[in-house]
Amino acid sequence: MSNDSVGIVIPQKIEFNEPITLSSGAVLPRYELMVETYGELNADKSNAILICHALSGHHHIAGKHAESDKAAGWWDNMVGPGKPIDTNKFFVIGLNNLGGCHGSTGPSSINPETGAPYGSSFPVVLVRDWVETQARLADRLGIQQFAAIIGGSLGGMQALRWTITYPERVRHALVIASAPKLTAQNIAFNDVARQAIITDPEFHGGDFYQHGVVPKRGLRLARMLGHITYLSDDGMGEKFGRMLRSGEYKYGFDVEFEIESYLRYQGDKFSTMFDANTYLLMTKALDYFDPARHYGGSLAEAMRQAEAKFLVVSFTSDWRFAPSRSREIVKALLDADRSVSYAEIESQHGHDAFLMEDAPYMAVMRAYLNNVAKEIA
Amino acid sequence: MAQHNTLRPDLKHIADQIKPGSRVLDLGCADGELLAWLQANKAVRGIGVDVDVMSIVSCVEKGLNVIQADMESGLQNFEDGSFDYVVLSLTIQAMHNIELILQEMLRVGKVGLVTFPNFGFWENRWQILIGRMPVSETIPYEWYNTPNIHFCTVKDFDKLLGKMGMKVDKQVVLHQGETVDFLPNLFGSLALVQFSQA
C-alpha cells in the first residue's frame, strides 16, 4: 500500500443506550453506529474532522480493511497522510448514518424487541436526526468542537445542519456539491427511484427479509436512474458515446450500447450490496431537508445561527446539485454576514466530480484545511 | 504599519484611500495581495471576487474570503450597501459591460475605486501617431493577444462617470509608481479614480 494511504483500518461499532426521539416523533430506545477513524486525536481534542457521507456512502472513507481488498474507502484520494484532509494533522471520523446498511442500526438490523429485522417499522430519519446522533458520537469521543465538518451532496447538508443546530461545535464547514434544499425535479427523481423499489413484488412492503428475498429489480432501476443524474451529458458522451459492445446493431432489446452495459453493471452491483429500505430512507432525508423552513423560509436567517466559517465548492457540470444551488448557500452566508469562500470547479464529471481526483479542487481543499490546521495548532 | 513597498504600486495607492476597519470588496482580486495587506495592516473586513480558480486557491491559502464568480453578469451575490469600498484594479479594461459593473459597484458599496491603464499616456499617443498599436508598461500586450477590449483615457472615464450620475471624489495619476501632477492625462500611464454617487 502506498505511503499516502491510511493503511489497514478496523471499523468499530459503538453502542448508544440513551433513547433518541427522532424528528418524526418516533423513538429508538437504543442504536449502534459503525465508525472508522484515521489519525490521532490531539491532547486538547481540537483536531477532529467529521466526514458526513452521501446517499450510498458509509464509514469506510479511506484505507482498506484487508490487504486483499480490491478498492480503498470511498474518499481515499482526499483522506490520508499528506492528502488534502491530512491524517498527519487531523483526527478524521467517518460513520455510517443511522438507518444505513453498513453496520449502523437500520431497517435491516434486528429489532431487539421483536427479534426480527425492523423492515417497514424502521422510522424515517431526517438530516437533523443524523446530526443529533453524530453529536452524541462526538460526546462519546470527548470532542466538544470539530475543527471541521465536511460533506459532499447529502453530506454537505449534514455539515450545514450542524452549523445551525450546534453553532459552537463547528469551527469550519466544508459544503461540497450540495444544496440548501431539493428542487421539485430532485424530488421527482427520488420518487421514481422509490417507486421502482416499492413496486417491486419482492419488496413486500419493506418486510422482504422475512420472505428471504431482496427487491433487486427495484434497487437496480433506482441505482441506474440515480447514476444517470450523477454524470453529465458531456461526461457520459466522452466515456461511452454511442459505442456498441459488439460493433454492430443486433435489432433487439439486449445490451448493445456501452452505456447500457455500464448502467446495468452499476445497478446489478448495487442491488446486491445495498438495502432497499435504507435507499428509501436516504432519499426521504434528502427530500425533507430544508433548514430555511424553520426560519420563515429565509436561508440567510437560518445561517445567521452559524458561527462556523465556510468553504462552499461546486462543479460546473453537476446538474443534480448545480452550481446555482451552491451559490444560494453562498448568498445566504454573505447576507448573514458569515465568513465564506466559494470555488466553482470546472469539471465534466457531473455530480460525481466531488469524489474525483482534480488538481484545482484538491488544491482548494488543501489550502483551506492547511489554514484550519494552523488555526488549531 | 508594515511597509507599502511590498505592494504593487497601483495597489499601494488604492490601499492609501481605504480607512482602517472598513468593509472592502475586491473585484478581480487575483492572488489577494491587496486584501491580505489591508487585512494585516488596516484591519479591514474583506472579500475577494475572481473568475480564475487558481486565484481562489491563492486567496484561500492566504486565509482570505474569496468568491469565484464572473463579474460580467453583475454582483448578485451581494446586497445593496454591504461594503464601504469596492475595488476594481486593472480589470475594467478587459470587461465587456463597463456601465453595469460601475453601477453594481455603487449599488453594493458606498465608494468605488478603479485603476486602469491611461490610454492618453504620451507613449501610447506617440505609438498611434507613428502608426502602431501601443505597447507600454501598463499595456504590455500585442494587439493580437491582448485581453483588453475597452481602453480609455483619464478624461474619458471621468466623462462616463458624469453621464452615469456619479462623481469623481479623488483622482491619482501615476507613472512608474510616482504621482503625476503635471498634465496627468499625458504623462500618467496609470489612473486611480475614487468615485461615488453624485
Geometric angle at alpha carbon A290, from A286 and A296, rounded to 5° = 170
- Residue A212 has a CB neighbour count (10 Å cut-off) of 7
What's the rounded Cα separation, in Å, for the pair A198 and A204? 8
Q: Which of B23, B147, B25, B140 is nearest to B92 (CA)?
A: B147
Cα-to-chain-centroid distance, residue B162: 18
pLDDT, position A1: 58
CB of B56 within 8 Å of a chain A CB? The answer is: yes
- Residue A68 has a CB neighbour count (10 Å cut-off) of 6
Mean pLDDT in residue range B46-68: 97
What value of ipTM does the predicted structure carry? 0.93
Geometric angle at alpha carbon A93, from A92 and A94, rounded to 5° = 125
Judge whether B78 and B25 are in contact, CB under 8 Å.
yes
Nearest CB to B67; choose among A330, A368, A370: A330
Under an 8 A CB cutoff, do B57 and A360 touch?
yes
Cell representation of residue A134:
453524530
Under an 8 A CB cutoff, do A334 and B79 touch?
yes
SS3 A361: helix
Interface residues of chain A, partner chain B, Cβ below 8 Å? 311, 327, 330-331, 334-335, 339-346, 360, 363-364, 367-368, 370-371
Residue A234 is given by DSSP the state: H
Mean pLDDT in residue range B22-35: 97
In total, the C-beta contacts within 8 angstroms joining chain A to chain B are 55
**What residues of B are in contact with residue A358 (Cβ under 8 Å)?**
none
pLDDT, position B9: 79
Cα-to-chain-centroid distance, residue B113: 6
pLDDT exceeds 50 at position B1 = no
Judge whether A280 and A321 are in contact, CB under 8 Å.
no
Cell representation of residue B8:
504593487
CA distance from start to end of chain B:
34
Strand bridging mode B190-197 / B109-117: antiparallel
Geometric angle at alpha carbon A5, from A105 and A130, rounded to 5° = 25
Q: How far is A359 from chain B (nearest CA, A)?
A: 10
pLDDT exceeds 70 at position B3 = no
pLDDT exceeds 90 at position B137 = no
- Residue B72 has a CB neighbour count (10 Å cut-off) of 11
What's the rounded Cα separation, in Å, for the pair A354 and A95? 19
Q: Which of A161, A170, A35 is nearest to A104 (CA)?
A: A35
pLDDT, position B5: 54
| Per-window interface: B 24-53 vs A, CB < 8 A | 47, 53
pLDDT exceeds 80 at position B2 = no
Judge whether A237 and A201 are in contact, CB under 8 Å.
no
pLDDT, position B74: 86
What's the rounded Cα separation, in Å, for the pair A277 and A109? 11
Q: Which of A371, A369, A307 is nearest to A49 (CA)?
A: A369
Whole-angstrom CA distances from A288 to A127, A128, A183, A187, A292 are 8, 10, 11, 9, 11
Nearest CB to B77; choose among A334, A341, A343: A334
Q: Which of B37, B14, B35, B15 is nearest to B26 (CA)?
A: B35
Under an 8 A CB cutoff, do B69 and A311 touch?
no
Cα-to-chain-centroid distance, residue B158: 14
What's the rounded Cα separation, in Å, for the pair B14 and B87? 8
Nearest CB to A364; choose among B56, B76, B78: B56
Task: Evaluate if pTM is beyond 0.80.
Answer: yes
Average pLDDT of chain B is: 93
pLDDT in tens, B108-124: 999 999 999 999 999 99
CB of B78 within 8 Å of a chain A CB? The answer is: yes
Torsion of CA A271, A276, A278, A283, to 10 degrees: 90
Q: Which ranges of chain A have pLDDT less than 50?
A: none
Exposed, middle or buried by CB within 10 Å (0-12, 13-18, 19+), for A374?
A: exposed
Under an 8 A CB cutoff, do B76 and A331 touch?
yes
User: What angle do helix axes A216-230 and A184-198 make, rounded to 10 degrees?
Assistant: 160
> Considering just the CA atoms, what is the radius of gyration of chain B in Å?
16
pLDDT, position A3: 79
pLDDT exceeds 90 at position B64 = yes
Residue A291 is given by DSSP the state: G
Q: Which of A372, A303, A293, A290 is nearest to A331 (CA)?
A: A303
What's the rounded Cα separation, in Å, for the pair B150 and A141? 59
Q: How far is B35 from chain A (nearest CA, A)?
A: 14
**What residues of B are in contact with residue A372 (Cβ under 8 Å)?**
none
Judge whether B162 and B146 are in contact, CB under 8 Å.
no
**What residues of B are in contact with residue A345 (Cβ under 8 Å)?**
53
What's the rounded Cα separation, in Å, for the pair A200 and A215? 6
